[in-house]
């Protein structure tokens, strides 16, 4: 059957209409604020980037950021936007000063898009530009101008103030998590020594750049003092720890390139080359980089990012007339790191021992690893443990940020999710019973244990998370004691062997309702006893109440509600002050009298709560 196709099907959208119709092109995924890469944080970042660019050009040493509920305010003290062009700067696509490299030589914003996206995706958007004793203000709703104020006199310092509230029509029932905003702000000050950012009354300032960043994100001291190297347009800091894998923080012109890119590949390559030449041994690259934690920051003229969200650098050159990124970083590392190791013999000795230890462990598990790979390939072909999706995180598909894998237990639970999922972006991995408690075990267990080996293969994280196949790794277990135990066992596995999955914000817990309350006209799903009480009151006397004991009891039709646009994901977060090793030892280590006392004491607390609820 042919489909009609004529002139009436060709449409030209206004700038705001296109942004609202295709927000993923401009801010990645929408989200509700529960994940660090959700759109509400991208909106804040787009506004902040303009203020940071001003600072990088030597204008203004302070930025104020205030978030009150859903309203965001950013005030910088730079030059201010030229008043006659203020309307164009926030409402005309491809309009901006970043096309002139003299005005903004090494900026983050390049395409004249970011703040327009903020405007179009906000219920309310107000911008004021203060410049040489005058102020110009314009107000918008959903990107439409509602009030264009006349020029007025002012005593305020030069700069720009933006106040916006993301649109609930686009983002749903969203919220801002202060710790995510705080993390973003800390990165800005680490990369811009001397910059002060005030966030909700708290002052953020860094004196030591990337070394402050690593110290903030490390749970324990490195094996040797941080190696901190600085040069024109480049800064590098790193050490080795005791964790598994490689942990990197990379930046271009102050932008956190969470997916790396040309500069990170160049650093990893240069590190291996320099280490090999210094020790005059052909070490395996994996042994050199094993357990490294590093931060890399470079400044590039007219950088090319792979998307508007600027999470991955695609530039090959430092600038129109500069060297390639690869050569620039390689020459810097070769000279600076080689000099450092010659001057710091004790650090050089520790690095050598760390490489040799990694080499021994790798060789000890190499035969097991080969068998495990073969087994994983066979199982993936002949077993239904993994029901894969079509879009993955390590692809160029616009939907890659939505790529999700649900890790669940049992055929009934995985069956319900499989029948309800979006086959484009949602995969399901089915565990067989309770996984092994991996606390205190070596990485050999990853390959010897079939469940862990297959899960690692499914996630594609054997060589680190650079090739991670799913942006969201979601633990989906029953809301009972057994489900909680499986959840803790999975978290123990990730924290032991792949902590960067958690650090980078990829791990979540699926929240599903505990109760269904309904009458003939309406159904309410409740996630807590308090929600159940409110539902009973709202639906009137004698409603039907169902307690879901397991995910398998929820029908596929109902499950669509819980893993669709209204999905509730609780992020698993880890901060520097989280004593992860202490927690794992206490909760997952050998039984101790202290833990038994803890269980007994908390059991009494839960019993008291139940008695109180029964009394009510």
Give the tens place of pLDDT for each residue, 164-223: 999 999 998 899 999 899 989 998 999 888 899 999 999 999 989 899 999 888 877 899
Return the CATH number at 357: 3.30.230.10
Nearest to 562 by CA among 389, 459, 419, 390: 419
Q: Are residues 542 and 563 in the same domain?
A: no
Q: Are residues 421 and 290 in the same domain?
A: no
Report yes or no on 527 lying in a domain: yes
Q: Which tokens is 26 given?
A: 């401009």
Nearest to 352 by CA among 278, 448, 403, 412: 278
Report yes or no on 376 lying in a domain: no
Q: What is the pLDDT of residue 321?
A: 57
What's the whole-number mean pLDDT along residues 604-616?
48
Average pLDDT, the chain: 83
Report yes or no on 151 lying in a domain: yes
DSSP E strand boundaries for 368-421: 386-387, 404-409
Q: Are residues 395 and 414 in the same domain?
A: yes
Residue, of 572 and 367, whose pLDDT is higher: 572
Give the tens place of pLDDT for each residue, 294-318: 999 988 877 766 665 556 776 566 5
Residue 256 pLDDT exceeds 90: no
What's the whole-number mean pLDDT along residues 257-278?
89
Q: Are residues 574 and 599 in the same domain?
A: no
Confidence of residue 320 (pLDDT cuts 50, 70, 90): low
> Which of 169, 204, 239 is where one domain is finished?
204
Of 23-27, 88-92, 225-229, 313-317, the poorest mean pLDDT is in 313-317
Report yes or no on 367 lying in a domain: no
Q: Are residues 342 and 229 in the same domain?
A: yes
**Which residue range(s) make up the domain with 235?**
210-361
Q: Are residues 313 and 395 in the same domain?
A: no
Q: Are residues 241 and 312 in the same domain?
A: yes
Q: What are phi and psi of 56, to 5 degrees?
A: -65, -25
Q: Are residues 184 and 76 in the same domain?
A: yes
- b/e 458-481 (16+ beta carbons within 10 angstroms → b): bbbbbebbbebbbbbbbbbbbbee
Nearest to 560 by CA among 424, 428, 419: 419
pTM: 0.69
Report yes or no on 424 lying in a domain: yes
Give the tens place of pLDDT for each residue, 549-559: 778 778 888 88
What's the whole-number mean pLDDT along residues 480-500?
87
Confidence of residue 453 (pLDDT cuts 50, 70, 90): confident
Give the tens place of pLDDT for each residue, 6-15: 666 666 678 7
Give the tens place of pLDDT for each residue, 404-422: 999 998 777 788 888 889 9
Report yes or no on 554 lying in a domain: yes
* pLDDT above 70 as % of the chain: 84
| Residue 173 near residue 140 (C-beta atoms within 8 A) | no
Of 246-250, 555-559, 610-614, the poorest mean pLDDT is in 610-614
Domain count, the chain: 5
């Amino acid at each position: 059957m042919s489909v009609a196709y004529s002139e009436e099907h060709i449409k030209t959208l206004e700038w705001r209409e296109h942004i609202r119709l295709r927000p993923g092109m401009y801010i990645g995924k929408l989200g509700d604020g529960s994940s660090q890469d959700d759109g509400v944080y991208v909106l804040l970042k787009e506004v902040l980037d303009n203020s940071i660019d001003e600072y990088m050009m030597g204008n203004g040493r302070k930025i104020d950021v205030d978030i009150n509920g859903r309203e965001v305010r950013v005030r910088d003290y730079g030059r201010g936007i030229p008043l006659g062009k203020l309307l164009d700067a926030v409402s005309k696509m491809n309009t901006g000063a970043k096309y002139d490299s003299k005005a903004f030589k090494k900026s983050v914003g390049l395409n004249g898009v970011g703040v327009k996206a903020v405007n179009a995706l906000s219920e309310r958007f107000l911008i004021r530009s203060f410049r040489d004793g005058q102020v110009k203000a314009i107000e918008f709703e959903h990107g439409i101008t509602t009030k264009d104020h006349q020029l007025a006199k002012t005593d305020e310092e030069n700069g720009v103030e933006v106040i916006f509230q993301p649109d609930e029509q686009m983002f749903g029932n969203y919220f801002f998590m202060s710790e995510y905003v705080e993390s973003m702000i800390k990165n800005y000050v680490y990369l811009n020594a001397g910059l002060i950012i005030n966030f909700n009354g708290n002052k953020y300032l860094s004196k030591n750049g990337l070394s402050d960043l690593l110290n903030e994100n490390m749970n324990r001291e490195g094996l040797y003092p941080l190696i901190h190297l600085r040069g024109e347009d480049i800064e590098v800091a790193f050490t080795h720890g005791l964790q598994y894998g490689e942990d990197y923080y990379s930046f271009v012109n102050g932008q956190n390139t969470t997916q790396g890119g040309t500069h990170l590949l160049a650093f990893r390559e240069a590190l291996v080359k320099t280490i090999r030449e210094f020790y005059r041994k052909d070490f395996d690259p994996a042994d050199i980089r094993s357990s490294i934690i590093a931060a890399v920051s470079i400044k590039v003229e007219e950088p090319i990012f792979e998307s508007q969200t600027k999470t991955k650098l695609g530039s090959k050159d430092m600038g129109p007339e500069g060297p390639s990124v690869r050569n620039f970083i390689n020459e810097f590392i070769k000279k600076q790191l080689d000099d450092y190791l010659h001057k710091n013999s004790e650090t050089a000795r520790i690095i050598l021992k760390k490489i040799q230890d990694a080499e021994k462990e790798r060789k000890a598990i190499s035969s097991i690893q080969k068998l495990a790979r073969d087994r994983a390939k066979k199982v993936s072909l002949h077993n239904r443990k993994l029901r894969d999706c079509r879009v993955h995180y390590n692809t160029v598909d616009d939907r890659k940020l939505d790529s999700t894998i649900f890790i669940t237990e049992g055929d009934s639970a995985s069956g319900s999710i499989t029948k309800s999922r979006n086959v484009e972006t949602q995969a399901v991995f089915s565990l067989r019973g309770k996984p092994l408690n991996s606390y205190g075990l070596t990485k050999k267990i990853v390959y010897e244990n079939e469940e862990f080996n297959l899960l690692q293969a499914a996630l594609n994280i054997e060589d680190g998370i650079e090739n991670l196949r799913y942006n969201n790794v979601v633990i989906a277990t029953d809301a009972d004691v057994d489900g909680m135990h499986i959840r803790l066992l999975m978290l123990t596995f990730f924290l032991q062997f792949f902590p960067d999955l958690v650090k980078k914000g990829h791990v979540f817990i699926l929240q599903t309702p505990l109760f269904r309350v309904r009458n003939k006209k309406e159904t309410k799903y409740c996630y807590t006893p308090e929600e159940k009480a409110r539902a009973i009151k709202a639906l009137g006397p004698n409603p039907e109440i169902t307690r879901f004991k397991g995910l398998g009891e929820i029908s596929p039709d109902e499950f669509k509600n819980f893993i669709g646009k209204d999905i509730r994901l609780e992020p698993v977060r880890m901060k520097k002050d989280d004593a992860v090793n202490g927690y794992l030892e206490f909760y997952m280590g050998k039984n101790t009298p202290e833990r038994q006392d803890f269980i007994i004491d908390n059991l009494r607390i839960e019993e008291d709560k139940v008695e109180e609820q029964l009394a009510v």
